[in-house]
Amino acid sequence: MSADRRAELAANLERVRARVDAACRAAGRAPEDVTLVAVTKFFPASDVAHLAGLGVRDVGENRDQEAGPKVAELDPQVRSALTVHFVGQLQTNKANHVTRYADVVQSVDRAKLARALDRGAGTALAEGARHTPLGVTVQVDLEEGADRGRGGALPEDVPALVEAIDGCEHLDLRGVMAVAPRGLDESGTRAAFDRLAALSERLRQDRPEAWWMSAGMSGDLETAVAAGATHLRVGTAILGSRVSHG
């Protein structure tokens, strides 16, 4: 079973890497400038271990309850070779726990959450539960009109949030992140990612170290690469459908 699963993941990963390579070629970008984050939510630690063995260096999780135990289950050597990204909506009261196992939280959308993560990371550092500041990206809401406000900071609120993160001693700002609005065709998605790219560029003028643009999932990674994404968060295309694993 395990060998079958490894082979299945290897084949999926190869297909996704080929898609990323082709998208980079089409955009005139270097494939090594794009980081593939395998989103392993709903899938077991054994899959994470397989992926690590297949050369994956970045994994993403979106639920604290599931992610904490899963990361703890990993062989320490596997764990230390990975960067663990938390990419889901996060309640402030879970922030402290997330700082125990995540290297990066991509879904920072409000100052209150940033401060809670900062306190948690400070405690975790003091206790030796972590050894580096917590990387963060600002999640931006790319919706327009009536759909605004469902997830992520509104574009006009990003500068204030960046300032709040600046005031956090144990947070390390890496850039911006977004999920494409639902129900758009390719050109609509591209326009949304272009708005994110413009925000990213503005941010990088002040702070070149915050260069991440995390965008693109299984269905729209080509569009994200064309728009300049540096980090892709890919679940289904690597791990398979989540429905059957409910």
Report the interface residues with ligand PLP, using CB under 6 A.
Answer: 39, 41, 62, 87-88, 179, 217-219, 233-237
152 close to 142: Cβ distance less than 8 angstroms:
yes
CB of 87 to ligand PLP, least distance (A): 4
Tell me the C-alpha to C-alpha distance, in Å, between residue 198 and each of 37, 131, 140: 22, 33, 12
Q: Which is nearer to ligand PLP, 24 or 237 (CB)?
A: 237
- DSSP label of 140: B
CB of 223 to ligand PLP, least distance (A): 13
CB of 26 to ligand PLP, least distance (A): 20
Whole-number Å distance between alpha carbons of 100 and 224: 30
Helix (H) / strand (E) containing 45: helix 45-53
Q: SS3 of 104, please?
A: strand
Amino acid at 69: P
Q: Which is nearer to ligand PLP, 99 or 107 (CB)?
A: 107
Whole-number Å distance between alpha carbons of 46 and 59: 13
Residue 96, C-beta contacts closer than 8 angstroms, at least 6 positions apart: 116, 119, 120, 123
Q: Which is nearer to ligand PLP, 174 or 233 (CB)?
A: 233
Q: Which is nearer to ligand PLP, 147 or 166 (CB)?
A: 147
Q: Which is nearer to ligand PLP, 9 or 217 (CB)?
A: 217
Residue nearest to ligand PLP (CB): 235
58 close to 238: Cβ distance less than 8 angstroms:
no
Q: Which is nearer to ligand PLP, 43 or 130 (CB)?
A: 43
CB of 54 to ligand PLP, least distance (A): 17
CB of 141 to ligand PLP, least distance (A): 13
CB of 16 to ligand PLP, least distance (A): 9
100 close to 119: Cβ distance less than 8 angstroms:
no
3-state helix, strand, coil in the chain (%, to 5): 50, 15, 30
